[in-house]
Amino acid sequence: MSHPKSTIRKKPPKQLAVIDVDRCTGCEACIEVCPVDCIDRIRPDAGATSFQRFCEINWDRCIGCKLCIRLPAKKSNPYELLVCPWDAISMVPAADLPEAVARIGGPPHYAAEHRPRLEAMARRQAESLPGSSALPG
Ligand code: SF4
Ligand code: SF4
């Protein structure tokens, strides 16, 4: 898939957005606002029912801007505009991403199909932080 809004990050962000799969409905509201197109709705896998849809964040490209959580308030409208209707997104320190993946939730078929890939991506982020002593693995 091409990502017209994609950017090359100059350095890894300190925090990255993580979606709680147990809360996500795949509504795509977060996809609409992400400035770098790093959120995708993932293909339902073999075990999914037609009601199960999830979105996923590509941490290799997330810039940690938090726009998928809340849009900045304007002077004319001081109320915060929350993006995710299900409060499914939180910011996690990049160093803690591998632990966050373990708590990401989702039904067993989701975990079986997607977690190994997410774990590898999370490790990559943690290891790319300045001063990281983690060994590639
Ligand atoms: S924090 Fe910003 S870059 Fe990362 S997923 Fe959310 S909107 Fe996209
Ligand atoms: S806005 Fe929330 S519920 Fe909708 S796709 Fe994004 S994370 Fe899932």
62-75 average pLDDT score: 90
Residue type, 82: L
Nearest CA, atom 3, ligand 2: 24
Side chain identity at 34, as an amino acid letter?
Answer: C
Distant-in-sequence, close-in-space partners of 81: CB < 8 Å, separation ≥ 6: 70, 71, 73
User: From the CA of 60, which ligand is nearest?
Assistant: 1
The per-residue pLDDT for range 88-131, each reduced to its tens digit, is 999 999 999 999 999 988 888 888 888 999 999 999 988 888 87
The dihedrals phi and psi of 38, each to the nearest 5 degrees, come to -105, 15
How far does residue 57's CA lie from ligand 1's centre (Å)?
8
Q: Is the CB of 64 under 6 A from ligand 1?
A: yes
Query: What pLDDT is stored for residue 137 in this prediction?
Result: 41
Q: What is the pLDDT of residue 120?
A: 94
Q: Which residues of 82-105 are buried (b: 16+ CB within 10 A; e: fewer)?
A: ebbeeebbebbebbebbebbeebe
Per-residue pLDDT band for 136 (boundaries 50, 70, 90) equals very low
CATH architecture for the domain at 15-127? 2-Layer Sandwich (3.30)
